[in-house]
Chains A and B, each alone.
Chain A
Amino acid sequence: MDKFVYDVVVIGAGGAGLRAAIEARLAGKRVAIISKSLFGKAHTVMAEGGAAAAMGNVNSNDNWMVHFRDTMRGGKFLNNFRMAELHAKESPDRIWELETYGALFDRTKDGRISQRNFGGHEYPRLAHVGDRTGLELIRTLQQKIVSLQQEDKAEYGDYEARIRVFAECTITELFVTEGRISGAFGYFRESGDFVLFETPAVVLATGGVGKSYKVTSNSWEYTGDGHALALRAGAKLINMEFLQFHPTGMVWPPSVKGILVTESVRGDGGVLKNTEGKRFMFNYVPDVFRKQYAETEAEADRWYTDPDNNRRPPELLPRDEVARAINSEVKAGRGTKAGGVYLDIASRLPAEQIRKRLPSMYHQFKELADVDITSAPMEVGPTCHYVMGGIEVDPDSAAAAVEGLFAAGECSGGMHGSNRLGGNSLSDLLVFGKRAGEHAASYVDALPARPKVAASDVDSATQAALAPLERKDGDNPYALQHELQEIMGDLVGIIRREGELAAAIKKLGELRARVAAVSATGGRRYNPGWHLALDLRNMLIVSECTAIAALEREESRGGHTREDFPKMEPKWRKVNLVCGMGPNGEVTLEHQPVPTMRDDLLNLFDKSELAKYLTDEELPA
């Protein structure tokens, strides 16, 4: 078995992981980046819209306070206010920093970074590059890491002297010695060989959990590894009931079901219509948003050219509202055969403009579905997209409950509350990626002695990893994954009910024994069946957290919609549901108060607005 010693091991090579690694390396630490896929392929590339940062380049009225307000509103006030505050304050710096790494964002006329409108953001705020902002981000960070390696090569004669990328490597276990992180264990996909990292600090940046769902925009990697590793190491997960279903994923053709159609299609003038040709979003504007959104098509249409004197079109409502509206239209029988509605930009903008503004969207539809979005409407519907819940961290340091464990990006929780605004995830991963890297480095500095990995832990991790290959009579991992996806998609989906959730928990419990006894055929070299068998237990435990928390929260808020409790309850706003792991590997659940917002932040809101979210006694005098 290969053994490596590092100061900081970053698990995950998406935006958050790479940003954390850069920061830890800049702090002088020796850093390993563990990438489940090849370097530069992480799911971050899928982000299309942009990165939200209140730079005020397009509308100078924008500032961190407005961004903070939007984020809290979007998350229905369940956000960790401190994270939302740090995020709003620091994201402009994180974006500007990327330019010094070589990023090329689209520009305003005066040469600054251009910013675009996006659902839930009061001003144009998203730094973007056409509709491939995520790719720009990942490539920029990837290239920054290469440039740091070049500096190390010049100094030490070795590219990998202080930062090394372990591509196609999966971590299956974290080791904790006397309450502190001591190492990580995993395997290389290519050879099937095991690897041990001895390290006092681990940054989890493994992304989301979407692969537990039938219809998802997430790739195979999104199996909740970080969530599960943290649970097993003794950390907690919060807000796991909140999953974001992107309102507009492709529903046709079937092979690309789930692939996202960026919100900027709507920001640039696209409208949603049902099969009767009606622009239905006007019927779904909730009271809390009534004031900010147009009531007539004429006013909505004027907004695109004159946003100061008109209210926004309801197509730009937060994602959960749009997803719910589409779901209702389809359930009322006004959806397409494939279970979606129409998103029409073809009749709204000239073909030339569409190709210019939405190049990769145009390209994607043309190539994948042979649909020309400049001449025909798209067929779209809700698809599992993002998990708001994740590892509970300290807002300033990104530290989890276990000493030496840090988390950033989608796998951490709290920042987005019950619903994430579009564009906030790219800035989230930069802001908290940097913080995680920085604090992991200072944690290592302050450590008197490095904890040692126990040999028995390594043995049991090895045995657990090899077990599926040795068993012959267990279920096929693909079949189990399919069953899990069916359960989650059908029973813990976008609209939830008590009976279905209870049934899901029961079925997941039954699945548990079968997942524990799964068997994989073939050898250890690049064997996807074996890899899936090892991922399954992560997917299962995280799915259980979601189902149990979803049953507990008897209200509808953001990314959690209970048909039997359709209203948002101020008393539930004060509660975070926290999942942990019991002694026998079972999921535990407890209520924990949401941190109380400081007065200076509370005063940024109108009292009338606060009244929609807070209980009477919480309201400022």
Chain B
Amino acid sequence: MSKRKFRIWRGDATGGELKNYQVEVNEGEVVLDVIHRLQATEEPDLACRWNCKAGKCGSCSMEINGMPRLSCMTRMSTFEETETVTVTPLRTFPVIRDLVTDVSFNYEKAREMPAFAPPVGLKPGEYRMQQMDVERSQEFRKCIECFLCQNTCHVVRDHEENKKEFAGPRYFIRAAELDMHPLDAKTDRKELAQQQQGLGFCNITKCCTEVCPEHIKITDNAIIPMKERVVDRRYDPLVMLGRKILRRDQIAPLASTEPAVHAGPVVVDETKAPVDFGRELLPPMGAAVNAKGKVDLNEMLSDRSAAASPFGDDVQFPVDPTALNYYHPDKL
């Protein structure tokens, strides 16, 4: 048993300060024990969230010596005897009081995430899945929603303005979990992650993975596969080859081609002359514009390294002659 130095942030939305405390610490204790001792002795109204005290509920998230941690999982023995332990609230979310922050951002993002779509035609009890197929999603379902990943992600940590369009790592793993769910009936999870969740903001610094108390490989197992597979669909070599050798109307439309409007299959009248401007053709998908109707210049928003094409992403240069209002004379 010894007295240890603590600095704890006290205050509310209007401001606050770090206050110094000398607290008794016993062998085998964690930071949350110390906070509880402070509450029971000198600071009964010190606000702090906690529930299970076993690293399972994800309530007691805070920043300890600047690191986002669960306070119930931060053993006092990891600090030097003489070290001052500084405890502050999560920085990314607005402070309510002391160590408690308003994490409603996360619940709002959760609500925007399309739910599991049950497979049509399977009744309860008829679901069959192999263990190895459910394991990938199960990794993400380990998430205890401590929101440390959301807190540490630099896209929103000091950028309030990004919060509107960015769902954050917690919801990327949710998207990946559903994408990899063997029976989820929704097939465009990756595209939604790209288009609606702001997956493109992530530039893979892996901070989220580093702070995850459940050791979920957020970046490697969820974000990167989601990014890759979005790109895959666009640049899959088979699809590319298909685009080269097939007519446009023979290529299955990409799920990601929204907001393109497809006019339906082209009726090719082979009896017509080489050039027929009246022939109905599939219009190009149009440029990938943002809400303001502009092409995004910021590559962070894009799923490729170069800027988006102003002619639409499905137009390849040189233009495939079979997709023009022109037939080669040989064809006549």
Which residues of A does B touch, CB under 8 Å? 37-43, 45-46, 55, 92-93, 96-97, 99-102, 104-107, 109-112, 114, 129-130, 132, 135-136, 139, 143-144, 146-147, 149-150, 153, 159, 167, 190, 219-221, 252-256, 259, 360, 363-364, 367-370, 476-479, 482, 520-523, 525-530
Contact B59 A37 (CB under 8 A): yes
- Residue B33 lies at the interface, judged by CB distance under 8 Å to chain A: yes
Q: Which of B23-75 contact A (CB under 8 A)?
A: 26-30, 33, 39-41, 44-59, 72-73, 75
| A181 CB, min distance to chain B CBs, angstroms | 28
Contact A523 B52 (CB under 8 A): no
Q: Given contact pairs A256-B30, A520-B45, A525-B96, enumerate 11 new A-B contacts (beta carbons under 8 Å).
A: A41-B145, A46-B57, A96-B124, A104-B181, A106-B131, A135-B144, A219-B53, A254-B29, A368-B30, A368-B54, A478-B44
| B7 CB, min distance to chain A CBs, angstroms | 20
Q: In whole angstroms, what is the CA distance A507 to B75 when docked?
A: 36
Contact B51 A219 (CB under 8 A): yes
How many residues from B make CB contacts under 8 Å with A?
Answer: 65
| B8 CB, min distance to chain A CBs, angstroms | 14
| Residues of A with C-beta under 8 A to B114 | 150
| A187 CB, min distance to chain B CBs, angstroms | 14
| B239 CB, min distance to chain A CBs, angstroms | 30
Q: CB < 8 Å: which of B39, B100, B111, B134 contacts A149? A: B111
Contact A529 B45 (CB under 8 A): yes
Contact A253 B28 (CB under 8 A): yes
Q: In whole angstroms, what is the CA distance A167 to B145 when docked?
A: 15
Contact B134 A106 (CB under 8 A): yes
18 A-B pairs, CB-CB below 8 angstroms? A37-B49, A37-B51, A45-B56, A46-B52, A104-B129, A104-B141, A129-B138, A146-B110, A149-B111, A219-B53, A253-B29, A254-B27, A254-B28, A256-B54, A364-B56, A476-B44, A479-B40, A523-B45
- Residue B191 lies at the interface, judged by CB distance under 8 Å to chain A: no
**Shortest beta-carbon contacts, A-B, top 10:** A253-B28, A522-B45, A102-B116, A147-B115, A529-B44, A111-B128, A96-B124, A478-B40, A526-B47, A96-B125
| A128 CB, min distance to chain B CBs, angstroms | 11
| Residues of B with C-beta under 8 A to A525 | 12, 47, 96-97
Q: In whole angstroms, what is the CA distance A159 to B110 when docked?
A: 12
Q: Mark B73-99, 1 if CB is under 8 A from A, else 0.
A: 101010000000000000000001110
Contact B142 A132 (CB under 8 A): yes
Contact A45 B28 (CB under 8 A): no
- Residue B137 lies at the interface, judged by CB distance under 8 Å to chain A: yes
Closest to A338 in B: B28
| Residues of A with C-beta under 8 A to B33 | 255
Q: Which of B283-328 contact A (CB under 8 A)?
A: none
| Residues of A with C-beta under 8 A to B47 | 525-528
- Residue B107 lies at the interface, judged by CB distance under 8 Å to chain A: yes
Contact A256 B45 (CB under 8 A): no
- Residue B130 lies at the interface, judged by CB distance under 8 Å to chain A: yes
Contact A147 B116 (CB under 8 A): yes
Q: In whole angstroms, what is the CA distance A107 to B77 when docked?
A: 40
Which residues of B does A touch, CB under 8 Å? 12, 26-30, 33, 39-41, 44-59, 72-73, 75, 77, 96-98, 100, 102-103, 107, 110-111, 113-116, 118, 124-125, 127-131, 134, 137-138, 141-145, 178, 181, 184, 213-215
| Residues of A with C-beta under 8 A to B75 | 368, 370
Q: In whole angstroms, what is the CA distance A363 to B216 when docked?
A: 12
Q: In whole angstroms, what is the CA distance A99 to B107 when docked?
A: 23
| B87 CB, min distance to chain A CBs, angstroms | 15
Q: CB < 8 Å: which of B27, B54, B115, B128 contacts A150? A: B115
Given contacts A46-B52, A146-B115, contact A368 B73 (CB under 8 A): yes
Q: In whole angstroms, what is the CA distance A147 to B124 when docked?
A: 18
Q: In whole angstroms, what is the CA distance A531 to B72 when docked?
A: 21
Contact A255 B30 (CB under 8 A): yes
Contact A528 B48 (CB under 8 A): yes
The residue in B51, B53, B128 that gathers the most chain A C-beta atoms within 10 A of its C-beta is B51
Given contacts A41-B51, A146-B111, contact A46 B56 (CB under 8 A): yes
| Residues of B with C-beta under 8 A to A105 | 134
Q: In whole angstroms, what is the CA distance A135 to B19 when docked?
A: 36
Contact B28 A364 (CB under 8 A): no
| A39 CB, min distance to chain B CBs, angstroms | 6
Closest to A44 in B: B57
Given contacts A528-B47, A529-B45, contact A41 B57 (CB under 8 A): yes
| A424 CB, min distance to chain B CBs, angstroms | 20
Q: In whole angstroms, what is the CA distance A367 to B125 when docked?
A: 37
| Residues of A with C-beta under 8 A to B125 | 55, 92-93, 96, 99
Given contacts A526-B47, A526-B98, contact A367 B111 (CB under 8 A): no
The residue in B57, B134, B214 that gathers the most chain A C-beta atoms within 10 A of its C-beta is B57
Q: In whole angstroms, what is the CA distance A521 to B41 when docked?
A: 12
Contact B131 A220 (CB under 8 A): no
Closest to A147 in B: B115
Q: CB < 8 Å: which of A100, A146, A370, A521 contacts B45? A: A521
| A500 CB, min distance to chain B CBs, angstroms | 26
Q: CB < 8 Å: which of B26, B39, B102, B137 contacts A529? A: B39
Q: CB < 8 Å: which of B44, B73, B129 contacts A520? A: B44
| Residues of A with C-beta under 8 A to B142 | 132, 135, 360
Contact B138 A478 (CB under 8 A): no
Contact B129 A111 (CB under 8 A): yes
Q: In whole angstroms, what is the CA distance A253 to B54 when docked?
A: 12
Contact A159 B45 (CB under 8 A): no
| Residues of B with C-beta under 8 A to A482 | 40
| Residues of B with C-beta under 8 A to A135 | 56, 141-142, 144
